[in-house]
Amino acid sequence: MPAAFYEFNVEQGSNFVTSLKVMNPAGGLFKFLPKTTETAWGNNNTTLNFDVPEEIKLAYPNNSNSFGWMKTATTGTFLTIRAKVKDSKGIEVLGGSSVYSMSTGNKITKGPAGTGTILFDIIQNPTDHNIIIQSSGQFSQNGKYFYDIELDYKLGSTPNTTSFVIRLLQGKMVFNPNITT
């Protein structure tokens, strides 16, 4: 899943909401999470009920080595999706994240409300799009900034997991001045 480049134009003083349609190389929408009615592992712990990014498949060809910790887990972070918006000097001016964790019954649920100004929702039963990005308030920035959106998967065969970060989207975010008469 190589990072795509996209430019966002946002009106200063506005709320922001958009959706992403991330495709699976095999066809159809990429399934970041199992359906709400499914567990993380299915078929007697032999198959995963979500799509695994190609980068993880290359590093961990066996799903038990990458997501084996989820077979019996009732807690623990599975995936964090986060964004950082930085100025030309590399200083972060906006950011945000949402966390998806294991819960009782081998299910994956969204954690408490996301943190920061930019929030994410991953759609568990995607039909038209699979990620929604929105602001938690109005933006006061003005000018051009750089952003990136990353997926941070927790991998391992045991509960001692390590991070595997994949950049999903990057580019410019332009905040146009709010001009009123």
Determine, yes or no, domain membership for 141. Answer: yes
pTM: predicted TM-score of the whole model, two decimal places: 0.88
Q: What total of structural domains would you count in the chain?
A: 1
Determine, yes or no, domain membership for 21. Answer: yes
Polymer length of the chain? 181
Determine, yes or no, domain membership for 160. Answer: yes
Average pLDDT over residues 90-108: 90
Determine, yes or no, domain membership for 84. Answer: yes
Determine, yes or no, domain membership for 101. Answer: yes
Q: Residue 19 is part of which domain span?
A: 4-176
Determine, yes or no, domain membership for 181. Answer: no
| Average pLDDT, rounded, for the chain | 88
Q: pLDDT per residue over 125-142, tens digit each?
A: 888 899 999 887 777 788
Residue 105, both tokens: 């019954």
Report how far apart, in Å, the C-alpha atoms of 145 and of each of 81, 117, 124, 170, 179 are.
20, 15, 31, 11, 20
Q: What is the pLDDT of residue 68?
A: 93
Instruction: Decide: helix, strand or coil at residue 58.
Output: helix
Determine, yes or no, domain membership for 18. Answer: yes
Yes or no: say if 175 and 142 are a contact pair by the CB < 8 Å rule.
yes
Determine, yes or no, domain membership for 163. Answer: yes
User: Among 10, 34, 9, 6, which Cα is nearest to 20's?
Assistant: 6
Per-residue confidence band for 38, with pLDDT thresholds at 50, 70 and 90: very high
Per-residue confidence band for 2, with pLDDT thresholds at 50, 70 and 90: low
